Amino acid sequence: MESAKADEKLQMFFDGELSPQEEAELRRELEGSTENMAELRQWEQMREAMHGAAAEWTAKLDSDALFARIEAEVSAPELPSEVERAPVELRVVPGGRERRIWGGLATGFAAAAAIFLAVLAWPEEPGTTPLQMARGTEVVAVDFGANAGTVFEVEGGAGQPLAVIWIDDEEMGMP
């Protein structure tokens, strides 16, 4: 248990995680321990070897090309896989239904308005409206003077009443 604590403290010293006071105490202890000093030197060699390998790998790496590839992938449109498309379509359905509902309402309203305007503008059939019933001609006042006369009503080609004023007349003998 003591050995484990000592290894952990030594590891923390190597990583620079000890407080200055703890570090000073451990340095005094390590001066009398060749075994711990040897272990520290091995760790240092391993760390330097890892740093060297990392430096060599990063030197070979084309960072510009790497960032260009990352940017291209980030800015490219997202192409969901077939598996991912199904849930996306399911999420879109409510919106589509809402558009269809409002589109249907708007279409229905426009159709009703068109029918309303068509009824207003539609030419009336003969005899079906008060306006058509007012067709034809009629006598509202007549003065036959000294002659005898009769007012007739004759049917026109469209069935409308046409006024006929017939006045008896003597042969005038005029040219």
Partner 1 sequence: MRRRRRSLVVTMLLGAWLYSGVASAQQTSLARSDRDATSSVPAEVLVVLAKEEEGKIDPQLKKLTALRRPPFNSFRSMKILSKPKLTLTPGKDEIVSLPNGRRLKLTLLRVMPDGRYKVRAAINRPNKSDYLPLLQVVASAGDPFFVAGQSYQGGTLVVGVTVDPQKTSK
Q: Which stretches of the chain bind partner 1, using CB under 8 A?
A: 95, 98-99, 102, 105-106, 109-110, 113, 116-117, 120-121, 130-131, 134-147, 149, 152, 154-157, 160, 162-172, 174-175
Q: Identify which of residues 37 and 105 has a Cβ nearer to partner 1 in the complex.
A: 105
Of the pair 27, 99, the CB lying nearest partner 1 is at 99
Q: How far is 53 from 43, CA to CA, in rounded Å?
A: 15
* Cβ-based nearer residue to partner 1, 20 or 95: 95
- Min. distance of Cβ 172 from partner 1 in angstroms? 6
Nearer to partner 1, 64 or 168 (CB): 168
Residue type, 48: E
Q: How far is the CB of 97 from partner 1 (least distance, A)?
A: 12
Beta carbon of residue 99, minimum distance to partner 1 (angstroms, whole number): 7
Q: Please provide residue 52's backbone torsions phi and psi, each rounded to the nearest 5 degrees.
A: -65, -45
Among residues 22, 125, 56, which one has the least CA distance to residue 5?
22
Minimum Å gap between C-beta 106 and partner 1 is: 6
What is the C-alpha to C-alpha distance for residues 12 and 145, in angstroms, rounded to an integer?
140
Alpha-carbon distances, residue 64 vs 15, 28, 74 (angstroms)? 32, 48, 15
Angle, helices 34-60 vs 20-30, to 10°: value is 120
